[in-house]
Structure 1
Amino acid sequence: MSIGRSVFEFLKMASIQHARWDYEVSMSILKNRKKMLILLATLLPILVVSLLEAGDMIGSKTAYAPAFYSTNIFLVSIAIGLCAGLITGCIGAGGGFIITPALMAAGVKGILAVGTDLFHIFAKAIMGTAVHKKLGNVSTKLAVAFLVGSAGGTFIGGYINKSLYDRDPLLSEAFISLVYAILLGFLGFYALIDFLKSRKGTADSGSHGAHGGPSGMTPLAIKVQNANIPPAIRFDEDYVPGGRKISGVIVAMGGIIVGLLAAIMGVGGGFVTFPMFVYVFGVSSMTTVGTDILQIIFTAGLAAIGQYAIYGYVFYTLAMGMLLGSLIGIQVGALTTKVVKGIHIRGFYAISIIAGFINRAATLPKKLVELEAIKMSPDLCKTIESVGNVVFWVVVAFFATWVIGKFIVNIGKLRGEEEVSPVLVKEEA
């Protein structure tokens, strides 16, 4: 149980940190008129052409053979980005985890959903480079070792996805769905248990104690730093007398894991980097933030372009649609946190993650039957898949309607107040 709890805390911190990065980058774009004009200038012709039913010009089955494109999917991508942004902005975690499942639920092939999500993250990272001031905290040696590993990881993950797709597209779909079902199922049900305990007043308030700041490390981090595997890398000299050291091999291995997850899941890798550096490597939070920003740009870019875009597995139009929707959603969601109760936000976090789990898990019986791995009635498989889709979209739609409704009702109260960061980013309300 303690191991499961530790993994949950690791994944929850990963989700929160990814949301923090997403929020900061999005706000950087929204505050820059030049960047917003560039984005709108890019999206306007895409939207016009989509509405004119000229799908072949903007990323259809003609341009990208593995996909079927309908002009309405661009508008759907904006809606998906909006919902993900609302979850990120209001809940402070979890929004990035639903994009790939949502695209797949909307009919986009799994490998295209992963590639498109990665490109969307890369585009947002490039546009939001105003946060480069934090890069001053990067330890160059740590960054180089980690990025060498993450580069290798993106090639491994991309190779796995492409190989499965080349062998059988159904196998690729089943693999991606299974990975998301495992991750979202574990994180969602633990979050639900945590939420129910918090309602009874029995939540463990001390579970966040291992913050990994300049003066404290987890027991695991101490063991990792004591591993005598050359070459040794020194870091955090500005925060600890004499600095600390860690094996470059261990850091590179961590990079491989992050790159692998990024290329397989399409989440940029940033959601794992922060807790890995703080809890496993024992790096200070200040150094970790800068390295995480750099890592996301590098890993997402290398995976999106080097492993997916050059093979035609990216829907650029959908990526831009999601970018626009998420920018709006994050702003609305972040403002709404000022007028909703923290306990409600924690509940919605658990429910939204579980909805993603149900959606991906519900697709597996049909895919396994088609792969002849199991035997089950086709009608039953179709019913299970339909129920999973309905549950997912109903939960997402209800949450989006609830947040937007709260925003509209309280717009007078919110007008003129300064911007806030997501509630869960502030150590959960």
Structure 2
Amino acid sequence: MSIGRRLYDFLLASSEAYARWDFEVSTSILKNRKKLLIILGLATPIFLCCLAEAYTQHEILGGHAAYAPAFYTVPIFLAAIGVGVAAGLITGCIGAGGGFIITPALMAVGVKGILAVGTDLFHIFAKAIMGTTIHKKLGNVSVRLATFFLVGSIVGTFIGGAINKGLYDANPLLSELFISSVYALLLGFLGFYALADFLRSVRPEVRQNTAAEENKNDLSGLARRVQNIALPPMIPFDRRVIPGGRRISAWIVASGGVLVGFLAAIMGVGGGFVTFPMFVYVFGVSSMTTVGTDIFQIIFTAGFAAIGQYAVYGYVFYTLAIGMLLGSLLGIQIGALTTTVVKGNHIRGFYAVSIIAGFINRAATLPKKLVELEALNLSDWLVNGIETVGNIVFWGVVAFFGLWVCSKFFLNMGKLRRHAC
């Protein structure tokens, strides 16, 4: 198997693990009236205060220049709700994380990159706090595993946050270019691989090997090699799952935490995005222990990155975070219910196309950023035209996907009611 294919499988597993966590948390919030009232109670005063600020002191909030934060408008808040709905529809309907498109989508509606990352992280942190009942999961948490992982992830958030802030302080355009480039590379790789995988999967003869591979209980070759590295201190885990348990070097776990924290602080995707497949496929931790440890660490990783690296410097739009949270709660439920009436794996094709649309959107902004940095010499009409096409493609695909899912949901309300009964 090629390195590219392994990386794609890892990213896809990450996306699916994040989607499962997101769905579980959103369902937990919706089933609890107290949590819903808290969210609505937070949303109303924050929104009113930001409206007043935007009207009276919009220059403090920022102008349209690249050297200021995002200009606050009511349409941007409504767009944040729409971004949350779109990400929720992808998560609930496809079973793969919609977090890939949140930061690019916020940037596409005019939010500066560093604010988009900080706001997305805060949205993930708030959702984890609101929806996760840790005490129910503590029986599956390896405290030592989580502790060393969190030490590494906090270091990673320092590194990622310092890079983002350093670039922004040096030149805000560099920060925009860096974030857009990272997303363009990641989304391009994942999107085209996902499209090729979808086209391959529609052939009936290819569908049989996946289930056998998923049911393997044995360790992967990589996990065996990792656990054989006897670099003290060693962490024991999975004693309740496997006779005698397993052991792994704390240095390896902490190194994995550094990577997760770095990605969380750079991209705003949240620690849980990479943690699950890393624990299972690289560290060789059982799924039960991974779930508990993942939920335990995501609050601290996302929270520390959001608050310690972005919020204290003014790089979080709380109103937009609440808007995304409200939108995603709605979108996830609609998407999940729609899967009961939509058959076939063609919906995977929509996922691939939406990821490619995100890639096109971020890649289309790069020429303009390079021209503004005087690293490229192109006419204004050309770079503006490329950026406009990227926005049209991205929002066109997202809108089409959203309308398609919602139409399936409303046209099949009768079936959904009977299914619920």
Q: Which residue of 1 aligns with 2:401?
A: 399
**For residues 331 and 248 of structure 1, what CA distance do their matches in structure 2 show?**
39
Tell me the CA shift for residue 348 of structure 1.
0.7
Following superposition, the deviation at residue 230 of structure 1 comes to: 1.2
Task: Give the Cα separation in 2 of the matches to 1:225 and 1:58.
Answer: 59
Pairs within 5 Å for 1:10-409? 10-47=10-47, 54-56=52-54, 61-62=59-60, 66-130=69-133, 132-203=135-206, 205-207=208-210, 211=214, 215-409=217-411
**Structure 1 residues 63-72 or 93-102, which shifts more?**
63-72
CA distance in 2: counterparts of 1:59 and 1:262, whole angstroms? 31
Work out the CA distance in 1 between the residues paired with 2:87 and 2:412.
21
Residues 60-117 of structure 1, C-alpha deviations (whole Å, 9 max, x = no match): 6535763311122111111111111111110111311100000000000000000000
Stretches (4+) displaced over 4 A? 46-50, 57-61, 207-213
For 1:119 and 1:328, the matched residues in 2 are separated by 19
**Equivalent residue of 1:233, what SS?**
strand
| CA RMSD, 1 decimal | 1.9
Q: Quick one: structure 1 residues 170 and 10, their matched pair in 2 at CA, closer, same or farther if it must change by over 3 Å?
A: same
Tell me the CA shift for residue 288 of structure 1.
0.5
Q: What SS is found at the alignment partner of 1:415?
A: helix
In structure 2, what residue type is equivalent to 1:395? V
Amino acid aligned to 1:146: F
Deviation of 1:339 after TM superposition, in Å, equals: 1.1
**Aligned-partner Cα distance in 1 for 2:110–2:206:** 39
Instruction: Tell me if the contact between 1:54 and 1:71 (Cα under 8 Å) persists in the aligned partners.
Output: no
Question: Which moved further from structure 2: 67-76 or 323-332?
Answer: 67-76
The Cα of 1:350 is off from its aligned counterpart by 0.6
Match of 1:427 in 2: none
Residues 399-408 or 204-213, more deviating: 204-213
Shift of 1:46: 4.2
SS in 2 for 1:407: helix
What per-residue deviation string (whole Å, max 9, x for no partner) do you get for residues 325-373 of structure 1? 0000001110000111232211111111111111111111111121122
From the superposition, tell whether residues 210 and 259 of structure 1 become closer, same or farther in structure 2 (CA, over 3 Å). Answer: farther
- Is the CA contact 1:94–1:353 (under 8 Å) kept in the aligned structure 2? no
CA distance 1:60–1:315, change in 2 (3 Å) = farther
Q: Look up the SS of the partner of 2:236 in the other structure.
A: strand
Which deviates more, 35-44 or 142-151? 35-44
Counterpart-to-counterpart distance in 1, 2:112 and 2:247: 44
Could you give the per-residue CA deviations for residues 106-140 of structure 1, whole angstroms, max 9, x where no partner exists?
00000000000000000000000236412320111
Distance 1:14 1:355, change over 3 A: same
Identity %: 69
Tell me if the contact between 2:357 and 2:393 (Cα under 8 Å) persists in the aligned partners. Answer: yes
Q: Distance in 1 between matches of 2:74 and 2:100?
A: 25
Classify 1:381/1:208 alpha carbon distance in 2 versus 1 (closer, same or farther; 3 Å): farther
SS of structure 2 residue aligned to 1:375 = coil
Query: Structure 2 counterpart of 1:11, which letter?
Result: L
In 1, Cα distance between the equivalents of 2:139 and 2:354?
36
Provide the rounded CA distance (Å) in 1 between the counterparts of 2:415 and 2:59. 47
Deviates more, 1:379-388 or 1:22-31: 379-388
Indicate if the aligned counterparts of 2:156 and 2:262 stay in contact, CA closer than 8 A: yes
1:178 is aligned with what amino acid? S
Contact 1:80/1:99 (8 A) holds in 2:
yes
Q: Secondary structure at the match of 2:335?
A: helix
Rounded to whole Å, the distance in 1 between the matches of 2:56 and 2:256 is: 38
Whole-angstrom distance in 2 between the partners of 1:301 and 1:211? 32
Question: 1:198 Cα shift?
Answer: 1.2
Distance (whole Å) between structure 2 residues aligned to residue 77 and residue 67 of structure 1: 13
Using the TM superposition, name which of 265-274 and 376-385 deviates more: 376-385
Give TM-score, length-normalised by structure 2.
0.94
Q: Which amino acid aligns with 1:226?
A: N
What secondary structure does 2:378 align onto?
Answer: coil
What is the match of residue 423 of structure 1? none
Instruction: Note the C-alpha offset of 1:48.
Output: 5.3
